[in-house]
Structure formats: C-alpha cells, structure tokens
Amino acid sequence: MKFLVLLLGIIFGIENGTNNFNLRNNERALISIIAENEAEFALANCYCRIGNDVGSRVNEYPNSLKDFGHIASYGGIIVTNSMEEDCGRKCAIKAADWLNLLSNDELCNYVKKQGSQRILAYAKVGGRKWNVRGSGKSASCCGNGGAYYCPSGWEYDSNPKKCKG
C-alpha cells in the first residue's frame, strides 16, 4: 500500500508532507477506485483460477487460462486455515466442472502449446499465496504416441513436426 501511495504521489506531483493536493475530480475518482480495489483484495475473499502447473504454492499467478475471479467471501481481513480449505474445495469443484466440459482438443485450443500439458486449479484467500487445489486435467497436445494430431482450428506443420494455431 505504501508503494501505491508513493506511486500516486509521483503521478500527481504530490509532495511528501504537504496537504496541498489540488486534485481534479477524475484524479480523485481514480484514487478512490484504486483504494477500493486494494481494500477488496485484502479482505478474506476467495479467488480461483485455472492454468498451467507452475508449482504447488506461488505468490503471483497472472497468466491463467481461466479466471473465475471472486467466488466466496468470509468477512473481515483475518484469514484462517479453515477459510483456505473451504476456498480450495469450492475452487476445485468449479475447476473440475469447467475442465470436464472440455475435450482434450478443446483444452489444447486454450493452452495453445505443444506437448504434455498439466492444467491445475489455483485458489487463494485474501493476500495469501496461490495454492494448487484439485487434480486438474492433463492432455497431450499435438502429439499422441508419436502420431501427430492437432486440436480443432490448428494446422499440422510437417517441418518441423508441430501444430500451428
């Protein structure tokens, strides 16, 4: 939060230690939106995303394939292990429902990468780390036992052997 205040000070030319803000209405609105978003993120809210396996516990997870966003609220700012477990269960169910609707070809169309892919659900509560939740789904994209195939909407390129999306 200190970084955010410093950044806003630089952007709007606010000198440290003065109360002379002289902000226009649009600048006040921007600051208000940023403050509301920061406060919302710090609350004990449950977030859920699906994406490539990047480890069992990560600080940031920006490049998900599917972001379910905010899926549950627990109130307050104190996060407990039981909240994390409940959030993880809800995320795993939501992710499994979504992944089970996709064929391997459809999953490969989302991933747009060649080779073996392991897609997992990641959940977090408040400012805690993203944790793997549920078993996810695996698919071999563009390769099946040495015989190449491509997901729907992709083309086979024989030199080198790969799929083009």
Instruction: Give the pairing type, strands 45-52 and 66-73.
Output: antiparallel
pLDDT tens by residue, 113-158: 777 888 899 999 988 899 999 878 888 777 544 445 566 666 666 6
| Whether residue 55 is found in the same domain as residue 130 | yes
Residue 112 has what DSSP assignment? -
Residues 91 and 125 grouped into a single domain: yes
Are 120 and 73 in the same domain? yes
User: What is the mean predicted confidence (pLDDT) over 98-122?
Assistant: 84
Residue written as token pair 């996060």: 79
- Measured distance CA(39)–CA(81) in Å, rounded: 21
Q: Record the pTM.
A: 0.63
Model confidence pLDDT, tens digit, residues 39-90 = 555 578 999 999 888 888 888 888 888 999 999 999 887 889 999 999 999 9
Comparing CA positions, the residue from 62, 33, 50 lying closest to residue 101 is: 50
* Residue 133: closest CA among 117, 147, 122: 122
Domain that holds residue 90: 46-164
**What secondary structure does DSSP assign to 16-75, as a single string?**
TT-------HHHHHHHHHHHHHHHHHHSSEEEEEEEE---SEES-----SEEEEEEEE--
Considering the domain architecture, whether residues 85 and 116 belong to the same structural domain is answered as yes
- Distance separating alpha carbons of residues 92 and 129, to the nearest angstrom: 16
Tell me the CA distances in angstroms from 112 to 12, 53, 64, 141, 153, one per residue in order. 41, 15, 13, 8, 11
Same domain, 70 and 110: yes
Task: Tell whether 29 and 50 lie within a shared domain.
Answer: no
| Number of domains forming the structure of the chain | 2
Q: What is the pLDDT of residue 16?
A: 45
Instruction: Render pLDDT for 4-33 as a digit per residue (tens, 0 to 9).
Output: 444 455 555 544 444 445 556 666 666 666
Does a cis peptide bond (omega within 30 degrees of 0) precede residue 151?
A: no
Same domain, 125 and 62: yes
Enclosing H/E stretch for 106: helix 104-111
